[in-house]
Amino acid sequence: MSTITAAAIAPEAGHTHEAMRLDAFRAYVSNIVGRKKVRPSVCLYARYYSVEYLNAPSGLVILAHQDSDDAQVDGIHPAAIGKSVDNFRNIVEPLKGTSTDAPAYNVHYITRRSQGGLVREAFGRMIQQGGPEAPHVSTDKSFYLEIYNTRIGPIVGAVESFETVYVIRPADALILQKAA
């Protein structure tokens, strides 16, 4: 099993990200969940060039930006928010849990115009990408997303290749994984 590298943790953040190999990412998730084989709660396949993760008071919000003319943003948000994206242009579905005690999250496929309403609902104000509340990872290739809804919250892998996966995870998950 590969070692997990130290992460750059944003101050007061609930989630952080780090790069690792695909096999190390899947082993990491297996250790957190406590089972050898774990299937993702959902996989999102598109040409994502940027993935923002928002450390909102209500929980993690993922905004994955597609490299397309459709201006679509996919991802997840806590089930407690999301009234702003509930319209005929958007698709919102419950995220299944990898664990029976996983927090309630929704998967969303929304228009780029709708993301502002979701951010405002999550924070009560607008925030800027790249700030301490909204770090992001980007690529000149493309990502697909593997999302695992675990008892400690969502763990998201922005998979660029077998060699490069940006893992978005709860900031204290490394401590929990080492203690297990």
Query: For 78-125, how does the pLDDT look when each residue is reduced to its tens digit (9 = 90+)?
Result: 999 988 888 888 899 999 877 778 889 999 999 888 889 999 999 999
Torsion angle, alpha carbons of 161, 23, 169, 89, to 10: 50
pLDDT at 146 over 50: yes
Question: Which pLDDT band, with edges at 50, 70 and 90, does 4 fall under?
Answer: very low
Q: State how beta strands 59-66 and 72-78 pair.
A: antiparallel
**Does residue 5 sit within a domain?**
no
**Does residue 3 sit within a domain?**
no
C-alpha 97/C-alpha 41 separation (Å) is: 6
**Does residue 47 sit within a domain?**
yes
**Does residue 144 sit within a domain?**
yes
CB atoms within 10 A of CB 53: 29
Chain Cα centroid distance, residue 52: 8
How many residues does this entry show for the chain? Answer: 180
C-alpha 56/C-alpha 51 separation (Å) is: 15
| pLDDT tens profile 29-49 | 999 888 888 899 999 999 899
**Does residue 40 sit within a domain?**
yes
C-alpha 147/C-alpha 40 separation (Å) is: 6
Tally of domains in the chain: 1
**Does residue 7 sit within a domain?**
no
Domain around 108: 15-179
**Does residue 34 sit within a domain?**
yes
C-alpha 128/C-alpha 135 separation (Å) is: 9
The pTM for the full model equals 0.85
C-alpha 1/C-alpha 152 separation (Å) is: 22
